Structure 1
């Protein structure tokens, strides 16, 4: 018969794994939301920047799946399954640590990456429908104009006119968008702020999940030893 202590730890482990499965869903959801915002402005963001949220989606899915090992191992009092769960957790923790380091490195290069993307799409504006759509989208959604401001469009339009997406409201007497009636904020600063905000969310979620994982590993190791001692006693 299992002692009262083992039963208590067993069900605590089960509840902890249930919580862990929910954190996996949380990671998956946050990764999907951040990836959606990156993909939305993919013309201005380097492909490598979107790797972190994709990895979070993968990690979240894996966490949700392997939490079943912990649940089953705890309920069946199977020390092998509990140890397998612990190993998986350690591997995922190391993977998340690597993602965090890569994200920190990329975070320092983010402004440079955005500047390159913005300049490229601005120079290709006349030649690429995709670039035109990207600029129309970002200027409309972020209420901005140009890279640093509306004057950036002078290198594309030489008659002082601007894309219509630069002007939210124009007087009925005005037929085209000009600097005088345009939005004055540049788009690069606004997108940079959005991505940095997303990075803070990712960092906060990552730290929270790391704490949960370390606690889960401790629980799993204690439970595995308790199961072994109980099995040997029988």
Structure 2
């Protein structure tokens, strides 16, 4: 194998290894932060986070595989590596398009889930868990609790607040906060995937 090609492959695969680890970490972070939504039908959100985790792991493994193939100059390993890259490129194109086109629908789903949890007494604990995890309060803010509870729940205020939770120190509404959180991660994921595709 040409000396230059060998080391170009090594450097490229090192970059892909880092990108794979980054995707893996971000996917895990998103999954952990949305895990408290388990009582509100979060299958689509979990599916996206898990897809990112799987993609990150696959990118990492294939890049590591490519490093071994180029270092040992093994034709079989390199051909397998090239085929894997081709298949992976197709998967990344699909996921990149999905990340950039599903933002509006995700916002609608978040609003539907939050309202379902908020107005269903059986999901009250789930709602408080959501508020604690995302540091938010009610559907659109603390005023959401007027006529529902006599006082704001502790989950609506920071842990440092030792006195009764009041509107003045309560978090913002969960719909906007969670939608912004998911939009932020969606942009990061999409940017990383688009960058990887551009490099390839």
TM-score range, shorter chain: 0.7 to 0.9
Contact 1:149 1:186 in 2 (8 A): yes
Give the structure-1-normalised TM-score.
0.72
| Map 1:125-136 → 2, pairs under 5 A | 126-128=121-123, 130-136=125-131
Aligned residue number for residue 222 of structure 1:
none
Give 3-state SS (helix, strand or coil) of 1:127's partner.
helix
Contact 1:43 1:134 in 2 (8 A): no
List gaps (5 residues or longer) in structure 2. none
Q: Radius of gyration: which is bigger?
A: 1
Cα RMSD between the aligned structures? 2.8
Aligned residue number for residue 185 of structure 2:
198
What whole-Å deviation, never above 9, does each CA across 1:12-31 have from its counterpart, x for those lacking one?
A: 22232233222222221122
List gaps (5 residues or longer) in structure 1. 215-234
Deviation, 1:133, is 3.7
Write the distance in 1 (CA, Å) between the matches of 2:60 and 2:171: 46
Q: How many residues align?
A: 199
Write the distance in 2 (CA, Å) between the matches of 1:177 and 1:78: 65
Write the distance in 2 (CA, Å) between the matches of 1:182 and 1:38: 24
Write the distance in 2 (CA, Å) between the matches of 1:62 and 1:184: 38
Highest RCO, 1 vs 2 (Cα 8 Å, sep ≥ 6)? 1
Give 3-state SS (helix, strand or coil) of 2:146's partner.
helix
